[in-house]
């Protein structure tokens, strides 16, 4: 067999595998199987996704959905492009970066109405009433992370840059904050924020959180995405998936269902203590559904536009991608 023949056969095999990965049964099938890739590991921040899986929301819609954990190595948008996933969870900056590279991705719903990325600080030692106050404090920032972009934007509202403040690079170690060597530390409000607040409370310290949205910086977090082809070619299946998922999130955010939600989460996250998970769920509820009248999944068009503008201003993308044209559920758009 020649080298060229081997290449042709190899290409044919690859195309067959790709076709199988992208295959979707017809709507007439008794059940339709989908792969749904989360952004991160199973924990309380994905309570609605876990609740949907464990309480038959997908099955009731005639869908067989495989909910899979995410990680830095398992990017939902890349898996959509490769055909390994049909739906996924991605933050707005991931969507915008992917669009600039030509990805065919659309946004179906916005999980978090308030970005959980915030800064924890001790109060009253630290007091923030205006972004200009940050100049007098020592800040933790993950260089290259979302929080760096958000902090740069927040400082810019006070005509400051990172060069005007004292900054320490953040890694997976809270020691500098716990030892009081850094005043403000970036955390996910509904996960690490709960754990650190509880730890410091036991030591007699009070904490508060700096939420950039309080100062007009709205940077969109996790949202439900799919490919443009999927949304166009299988609108009924997409609608069924989204309806089931959002119904599960609504139920999961209802305090009346807290016990069953925590039981579902505990099945997948066995390493976190029950009382911590309960506190994390309480905080998650305030971020996903901050007002009873706000439907879970509401898309905040203005916040998406601002996120793109921030990324343009910070040089994270070179050209506009018009992300608001990729928001696909007009019933939820605001």
Q: Consecutive 10-residue runs of the chain (334 residues): their mean pLDDT? A: 39 36 44 88 96 96 94 89 96 96 97 97 97 97 93 96 95 93 97 96 97 96 96 95 98 98 96 95 98 95 96 94 90 64
Strands (E), 69-133: 87-90, 105-110, 117-123
- The reported pLDDT for the residue numbered 329 is 72
- What is the DSSP-derived secondary structure letter of residue 260? H
* Residue 68 backbone phi and psi in degrees, to 5: -120, 140
How far is residue 167's CA from residue 138's CA, in Å, rounded to a whole number? 6
In angstroms and rounded to an integer, the radius of gyration of the C-alpha atoms of the chain is 21
Q: What stretch of H or E contains 32?
A: strand 32-37
Closest C-alpha among 135, 213, 139 to residue 170: 139
Reduce the DSSP state of residue 2 to 3 states and report it: coil
How far is residue 117's CA from residue 110's CA, in Å, rounded to a whole number? 15
The token pair that represents 270 in the structure block:
């066995």
- The reported pLDDT for the residue numbered 5 is 40
pTM exceeding 0.75 = yes
Place of tokens 């901050």: 290
- The reported pLDDT for the residue numbered 74 is 85
How far is residue 210's CA from residue 184's CA, in Å, rounded to a whole number? 8
Please say whether the beta carbons of 219 and 154 come within 8 A: no
- Judge residue 81's burial from the number of C-beta atoms within 10 Å of its C-beta, 0-12 exposed, 13-18 middle, 19 or more buried: middle
Question: What are the residues whose beta carbons fall under 8 Å from the beta carbon of 144, sequence distance 6 or more?
Answer: none
The token pair that represents 171 in the structure block:
């890694």
The token pair that represents 242 in the structure block:
């989204």
How far is residue 79's CA from residue 252's CA, in Å, rounded to a whole number? 27
Closest C-alpha among 71, 50, 40, 13 to residue 251: 50
Please say whether the beta carbons of 8 and 247 come within 8 A: no
- Sheet containing 105-110, strands listed edge to edge, beginning at the edge strand earlier in sequence: 63-68, 32-37, 87-90, 223-227, 105-110
Please say whether the beta carbons of 166 and 183 come within 8 A: no
- The reported pLDDT for the residue numbered 33 is 87
- The reported pLDDT for the residue numbered 278 is 97
């Amino acid at each position: 067999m020649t080298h060229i023949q081997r290449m042709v056969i190899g290409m044919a095999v690859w195309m067959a595998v790709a076709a199988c990965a992208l295959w979707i049964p017809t709507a007439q099938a008794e059940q339709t199987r989908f792969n749904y890739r989360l952004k991160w590991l199973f924990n309380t921040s994905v309570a609605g996704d876990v609740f949907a899986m464990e309480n038959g929301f997908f099955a009731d819609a005639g869908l067989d959905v495989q909910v899979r954990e995410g990680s830095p190595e398992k990017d939902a948008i890349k898996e959509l492009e490769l055909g390994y996933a049909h739906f996924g969870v991605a933050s707005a900056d991931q969507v915008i970066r992917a669009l600039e590279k030509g990805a065919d991705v659309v946004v179906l719903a916005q999980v978090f109405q308030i970005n959980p990325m915030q800064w924890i600080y001790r109060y009253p030692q630290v007091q923030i009433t205006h972004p200009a106050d940050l100049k007098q404090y020592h800040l933790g920032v993950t260089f290259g992370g979302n929080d760096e972009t958000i902090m740069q934007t927040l400082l810019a509202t006070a005509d400051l840059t990172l060069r005007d403040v004292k900054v320490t690079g953040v890694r997976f170690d809270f020691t500098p904050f716990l030892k009081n060597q850094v005043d403000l530390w970036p955390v996910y409000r509904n996960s690490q924020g709960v754990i650190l607040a509880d730890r410091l409370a036991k030591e007699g310290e009070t904490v508060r959180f700096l939420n950039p949205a309080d100062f007009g910086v709205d940077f969109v977090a996790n949202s439900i995405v799919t490919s443009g082809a999927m949304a166009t070619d299988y609108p009924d299946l997409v609608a069924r998936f989204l309806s089931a998922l959002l119904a599960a999130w609504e139920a999961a955010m209802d305090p009346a269902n807290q016990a069953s939600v925590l039981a579902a989460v505990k099945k997948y996250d066995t390493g976190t203590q029950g009382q911590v998970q309960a506190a994390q769920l309480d905080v998650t509820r305030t971020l996903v559904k901050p007002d009873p009248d706000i439907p879970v999944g509401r898309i905040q068009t203005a916040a998406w536009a601002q996120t793109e503008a921030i990324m343009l201003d910070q040089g994270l993308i070179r050209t506009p991608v018009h992300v608001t044209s990729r928001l696909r559920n007009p019933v939820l758009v605001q």
